[in-house]
Amino acid sequence: MTDRYDACIVGAGISGLNALFVASQYLSRDQRVILVDRRSRAGGMWMDTYDYVRLHQPHSLFTAGNIEWTLGKKPDYLATREEVLEHLHHCLEVIKRRIRVTELFGYEFENSEELAGKVRITCRSSEGRTMELEADRLIKAYGQGIETNPPLKLSSTRARSVSPDGFDVRGTEMRASDEPVWIVGAGKTGMDTAHALISDQPGREVNLIAGPGTLFASRDRFFPGGVRRWRQGKPISLLSMEMARRFDGTNEADVMSWFGDNYGVRLTPQTGNFLFAFLSEAENDTIAKGLNEVVMDYFDDVVDRDGGAELVLRSGATMPVEPGSWVVNCTGSLMRGEHSYEPYASASGRVLSIQNRSATIPFPAGGAAAYFLTHLMFLDKLTQVPLYAMDVEELRRKAPQYVMAVGLTPLQLYNLSLMAEAIPAGQFRKIVSRNGLDFNRWYPLPRRLRASIGFMLTHKREREHYRRTLDKVAERFGVRCGPVVGAGQA
């Protein structure tokens, strides 16, 4: 016997829960949805990540639909891992009061096949048990596909290699030693790790191997506190429109220089990475003052030599390392490895796939795409609206990070413009108003309205510029970027 459902959602992280929230707006109380996840509970990547991770935006802007937090903290509070997990569990419980949700945790999605207007889905448990399901719609809400980091493999026996995902740098083992720490990677994980060590163990020698350096968006400038929200700060939608207008598909360095000077935070003199993570000026200052040394190079290995240990860098340079030193792998977990291409929509529109090989609404991180595209699916417009889909995973391999970051801005605006035109105005406004991931919600209503009106007045006029820009990026780097056509191929 095969269990039958009105919808199957694979993934119980921020993407899957936003898809589930939207499904609850269209399905009746007696219809059935099954939520599948390989983990033991809702939470997605937050189940796997390091203990001291915190949201890098105000916690109220990270939710499913418009479900409010019950934390009782100030609006600008950065929620901890456990607090995020508790809220995502709360979101699931709220949605379960609206529709019938069956939870299938501990099962991995294996494959699906469309037959006779239905989708046949096969899942397998960690013990090898197979489960077959049948659903009217399938949503594979993989989101960003975050993976954990293993410790780096070292040739040396005189240095200790750990990963934040399996080792808390604030724990007793680290505290019991006083040897130097070498953090490899200057992205969000690296900054979190440096800040945790410097704050928790002042005076300890902490070094950073920063690669090309990372540019962050200033949390202070995008999320000012208190009454400053009325006059200061930059709503993200306005910043996105300004970036997209400046970018023509070839001048990413100029655009990022402008962004860095006006809205960026940087620890290093040069920055070669930018993924729109947020960092405050205070956090940056704490890290800058607490670091012993910042190395602008890539890590290669630690080797034993002449009775000691030596750090080897990709450039060929070497540096002595004190025996017993810690090497912490913070090289990042975003878009690691290679995944098979898959269009975001099947030809029938019965299967929706949220992942980086066919990205449509990239900000913020998978959840927004799940929210908006699930609306299109239930409105039977998923294959009717010719959204551009970009192979972001391939672009990251071929293009400098600035190209990827800047190129995603016109992608987002182009696709939102098409949706705004395809969905009746009143309904589209309602959809936007219930999107709890919208960073513009940080600002008072008058400022949000001005930003929304600005988009609605200009998006049709500027859409052609966005399209030409995306076509130029695709041409320059030979990546798939265009509408899903025909049999679901982009």
Distance between alpha carbon 308 and the CA centroid of its chain, in Å? 40
Mean per-residue pLDDT for 402-416? 90
pLDDT of residue 404 exceeding 90, the answer is no
Model pLDDT, residue 334? 62
**What is the rounded CA–CA span in Å between residue 40 and residue 21?**
20
Q: Indicate yes or no: pTM above 0.85.
A: yes
Confidence of residue 396 (pLDDT cuts 50, 70, 90): confident
pLDDT of residue 490 exceeding 80, the answer is no
Give the largest Cα separation in the chain, rounded: 73
CA-based nearest residue to 228, from 77, 76, 78: 76
Mean per-residue pLDDT for 173-188? 95
Model confidence over 22-34: pLDDT tens digits?
999 999 999 999 9
Mean per-residue pLDDT for 378-400? 93
Q: In what order do the strands lie in the sheet with 318-321?
A: 299-305, 308-313, 318-321
For the ranges 6-10, 86-90, 331-335, 408-412, which has the lowest average pLDDT?
331-335
Model pLDDT, residue 485? 56
Which amino acid, 416?
L
% of residues, the chain, pLDDT over 90? 88
Which has the higher per-residue pLDDT, 155 or 486?
155
Show the domains of the chain with their CATH numbers. Answer: 3-147+336-483 (3.50.50.60), 160-329 (3.50.50)
Q: In what order do the strands lie in the sheet with 215-218?
A: 264-266, 215-218, 278-279
**What are the residues whose beta carbons fall under 8 Å from the beta carbon of 160, sequence distance 6 or more?**
324, 325, 326, 327
Model pLDDT, residue 333? 61
Model pLDDT, residue 365? 74
pLDDT of residue 143 exceeding 60, the answer is yes
Model pLDDT, residue 486? 44
